[in-house]
Amino acid sequence: MVNGRVERRLAVIMATDIVGYSRLVEADEARTLDAIKQMQSSILAPNIAARGGRVVKLMGDGALIAFNSAVDAVDCAINLQQDVTCHQQGLAVDDRIVLRIGINLADVVIEGDDLLGDGVNVAARLEASAEPGGICLADIVHRQLGPKDRSAFLDGGEISLKNIARPVHVWHWRDAPKAGPSAFPAPARTSIAVLPFENLSGAPGQSFFSDGITEDIIGGLARFRSLAVIAASSSFSFRGKNEDRKEIGRKLGVTYLVEGSVRRAGERVRITAQLIEAASGTHLWAEHYDRGFTDIFAVQDEVTRMIVSTLVGQIECADVRQALRKPTTSLAAYEFYLRGLVHIRGYGPDDNRQACAMFEAARERDTQFALALAHLALARTALHGYANAPRDVLDEALALTREAVCLDEGEGACQRLLALVHVNRREFEQAERHYRRAYQLNPNDANTLVQMGGLLARRGKLEEAMEWINEGFRLNPFPPPWYSAALGNALYILGRYEEAAAALKELPNPGPFTTARLVACYALAGDTRATEATKAQLLKLSPDFSTEDFIRRGLLLERPEQLDLFRQGLLKAGLPA
């Protein structure tokens, strides 16, 4: 710098990072550090030098590299990922070094040998947005590539990056390893179910609060990949049943059960919790907490911490902090959020409107409450029937869910709901990207697994779709009704029409679109009697039904042959074209 002038230049910045660095070092520090040094000297340095790059900064878990050419930077990134994958092939999955890479093109500040500025920060954020083993490019980099190189990347749309004011349009490497339930061998995991905490407050209307505490403990535990945690709806199916704990454990397929109660009296609350070995009924741990009502989040943190420490011993501090993250600092906002969940999961005629009101009230009381924002987007879309929502409603839903993801980058449910908005907008590639990110954040969220399976079926990836859906049903063996819609749709596309009809019949209060799907199932299954009966029911619900209107408005499918398959079923049933 001379006479106060800042030296700047245009540069392509590549940021790399090692996935799970802390875990690798903790498991075997000497082996990990040696492996990283070897990788840096035998793979990283030669690839960078061959393409004219310069290492600006080398850290234990990553590097910052500058290039003069976007083409060279991208070519280097692809070769790095391929070489690292090949180099690590013979190692156990948990011992492998996996990279994330982000690339940006920007005007940067030169200070000695270092590069500074927003462009460098964006590259680092892009790296964090890449899949493990993947590459994430800023749109400005993608536009510098030739047609062949551009085709190696999939459009990721605009995403919000932490501490970056404007959304950034990104592209993802098409050949990145796919995250999914069968991507790696599943290690044996401790299994646990949290039964619904009993409401002892004397007011039936307060059960939503004890349910909310139960779900938060489930959510906290589910963020630990070492635990297999049964979904809330399956645990809740045992509410009020005086079944033997051993039998509940057998039905849910778990080793441990957690049960407890919540008693609220004025501004005081008592929470009791106990951990039980299901097979023997042995009580391994029990505790009760008396607190002022405003300390409810601290109580939940304590309960979750004790359960986890009893099961898995000492857990890395950073993981504990992530698992016990509080959803909001406003108790009133949290109550409205819980009430909203009750309505969004209901099938009553006014439930979606009530859900909107509750999530809106939560947002008014805490504008930083990410889950409330994301669920508000869901409820507003549901008011218009998802697939039929007007464009302005879908635009607003996209903005809300993006804001939610930006507010809480570690919350898988926000990523899942953003993916669902993309599905409703028929932006299937972006939806898949966010579902995979949601899965990485919380592999025990059965909702993510089933919704992802439903999306993959729509995209024609039928074998993978059934893997995701089956895993979702395994984690949630007593699922909410909407799981049956995803399963029924996938089975129909697979040509398993009788099974598809059986799944769709599980849906309560079926409307015209579900009934039309049933008609198509029965028609292609050759069940004339059921076809005629269900067709009559459909025409009663929708006297002016037309096949083309249903295909246009009622189906969120990517492939034309899938649309034709539904068209064939409806026309075979004798419904109007």
Sort 244 into a burial class: Cβ within 10 Å, 0-12 / 13-18 / 19+: exposed
208 and 150, same structural domain? no
Specify the pLDDT at position 2.
Answer: 42
- The answer to whether residue 23 scores a pLDDT higher than 80 is no
Question: Average per-residue pLDDT in the chain?
Answer: 84
309 and 169, same structural domain? no
Distance of CA 462 to the CA centre of its chain: 20
Specify the pLDDT at position 317.
Answer: 32
| Domain count within the chain | 2
99 and 21, same structural domain? yes
Radius of gyration of the CA atoms of the chain, in A: 26
Cα(152)–Cα(332) distance, rounded to whole angstroms? 48
Residue 83 lies in a domain: yes
Residue 403 lies in a domain: no
Distance of CA 341 to the CA centre of its chain: 17
pLDDT band at 135 (very low <50, low <70, confident <90, very high): very high
Residue 456 lies in a domain: no
Specify the pLDDT at position 314.
Answer: 29
274 and 146, same structural domain? no
Q: Which long-range contacts (CB under 8 A, 24 or more apart) does 198-207 make?
A: 198/259, 198/260, 198/261, 198/262, 199/261, 199/262, 200/261, 200/262, 200/263, 201/262, 201/263, 201/264, 201/265, 206/264
- The answer to whether residue 374 scores a pLDDT higher than 90 is yes
pLDDT tens-digit readout, 419-460: 999 999 999 999 999 999 999 888 878 889 999 999 999 999
124 and 32, same structural domain? yes
Residue 472 lies in a domain: no
CATH number at residue 266: 3.40.50.10070
Token pair, residue 30, equals 């000497």
245 and 141, same structural domain? no
126 and 21, same structural domain? yes
Phi and psi angles of residue 450, each rounded to the nearest 5 degrees, phi first: -70, -40
CATH number at residue 111: 3.30.70.1230
Give one DSSP letter per residue of 58-125, joined into a string: EETTEEEEEES-HHHHHHHHHHHHHHHHHHHTTS-GGG---EEEEEEEEEEEEETTEEESHHHHHHHH
The domain in which residue 262 lies consists of: 190-213+234-321
Higher pLDDT, 169 or 185: 169
Token pair 């403990």: residue = 217
206 and 108, same structural domain? no
200 and 82, same structural domain? no
Distance of CA 260 to the CA centre of its chain: 28
pLDDT tens-digit readout, 331-352: 678 878 888 888 888 778 888 9
Cα(99)–Cα(17) distance, rounded to whole angstroms? 6
Of all helices (H) and strands (E), which one includes residue 540?
Answer: helix 528-541
- The answer to whether residue 64 scores a pLDDT higher than 80 is yes
Using DSSP's 3-state secondary structure scheme, residue 553 falls into helix
Parallel/antiparallel/unpaired status of strands 8-18 and 62-67: antiparallel
Residue 96 lies in a domain: yes
| pLDDT, mean of residues 103-107 | 91
- The answer to whether residue 215 scores a pLDDT higher than 80 is yes
Length of the chain: 577
Share of the chain above pLDDT 90, in %: 39
- List Cβ neighbours of 418 (8 Å cut-off, separation of 6 or more): 374, 398, 401, 402, 404, 405, 434
Sort 144 into a burial class: Cβ within 10 Å, 0-12 / 13-18 / 19+: middle
pLDDT tens-digit readout, 391-400: 999 999 999 9
Angstrom distances, CA of residue 112 to CA of 7, 54, 63, 476, 510: 10, 13, 17, 56, 67
Higher pLDDT, 23 or 328: 23
139 and 205, same structural domain? no
| pLDDT, mean of residues 482-497 | 93
Specify the pLDDT at position 184.
Answer: 44
Of the candidate ranges 154-163, 465-474, 508-517, 566-575, the one whose mean pLDDT is the lowest: 154-163
Token pair 């989040």: residue = 297
pLDDT band at 288 (very low <50, low <70, confident <90, very high): confident
Specify the pLDDT at position 461.
Answer: 92
Where does a domain end: 321, 339, 356?
Answer: 321
pLDDT tens-digit readout, 178-214: 666 654 444 445 678 889 988 887 776 667 778 877 8
- The answer to whether residue 309 scores a pLDDT higher than 60 is no
- The answer to whether residue 241 scores a pLDDT higher than 90 is no
66 forms beta bridges with 13, 54
Residue 518 lies in a domain: no
Residue 23 lies in a domain: yes
Q: Which long-range contacts (CB under 8 A, 24 or more apart) does 244-248 make?
A: 244/281, 245/276, 245/278, 245/281, 246/278, 246/279, 246/280, 246/281, 248/193, 248/195, 248/278
Cα(455)–Cα(464) distance, rounded to whole angstroms? 10
> Which of the 8 DSSP states describes residue 44?
I
- The answer to whether residue 157 scores a pLDDT higher than 70 is yes
Q: Could you tell me which of 483, 475, 480 has the C-alpha nearest to residue 452?
A: 483
Cα(428)–Cα(84) distance, rounded to whole angstroms? 30
Specify the pLDDT at position 331.
Answer: 63
Where does a domain end: 291, 321, 351?
Answer: 321
Residue 161 lies in a domain: yes
On whether the CB atoms of residues 108 and 6 are closer than 8 A, the answer is no
Share of the chain above pLDDT 70, in %: 88
On whether the CB atoms of residues 237 and 478 are closer than 8 A, the answer is yes
150 and 198, same structural domain? no
pLDDT band at 324 (very low <50, low <70, confident <90, very high): very low
pLDDT band at 353 (very low <50, low <70, confident <90, very high): very high
On whether the CB atoms of residues 506 and 521 are closer than 8 A, the answer is no
pLDDT band at 81 (very low <50, low <70, confident <90, very high): very high
Using DSSP's 3-state secondary structure scheme, residue 480 falls into coil
Higher pLDDT, 185 or 132: 132
92 and 156, same structural domain? yes
Of the candidate ranges 86-90, 123-127, 241-245, 523-527, the one whose mean pLDDT is the lowest: 86-90
